[in-house]
Amino acid sequence: MKQHADLRIRIEGHTDNVVKKEANQDLSERRAAAVKAILVKDFQIDGSRMESQGFGDTKLLVPTGANTREPQNRRVEIIIR
C-alpha cells in the first residue's frame, strides 16, 4: 500500500456458525478492526484508505455440520477496491 498511494482496501472479518449470530457478528467486526489497527500502527498505513467490515457467519467457505468447526470459515479477507 505504501507503493500505491491511491490503493484502497476493505478488510472483511468472517466466522464459522458455531455460536449465536450476534456473537459471530461482533467477533467478525472485531477481527477486521484488529487487522486494520495493525496496518495503521505497525505499518503506518493511513486508516482513511481502509474500511473494515464484519460479516459474521454469512459467507461460509465450507459448510459446517453438527459439532464440526471449519477453521477455513474463521478468516480475514482483504479486498482491493
Instruction: Name the residue among 69, 51, 52 with its Cα closest to residue 60.
Output: 69
At 59 the pLDDT is 94
At 42-52, the pLDDT tens digits run: 999 999 999 99
Cell 467478525 belongs to which residue? 28
At 63 the pLDDT is 81
Is 76 in contact with 31 (CB distance < 8 Å)?
A: yes
pLDDT tens-digit profile, the chain (81 residues): 989 999 999 999 999 988 899 999 999 999 999 999 999 999 999 999 999 999 999 999 888 766 666 788 999 999 998
**Torsions phi, psi for 26 (to 5 deg):** -60, -45
At 68 the pLDDT is 65
| Pairwise CA distance, residues 75 & 67, whole Å | 19
Segments in the chain forming alpha helices (H) = 21-43
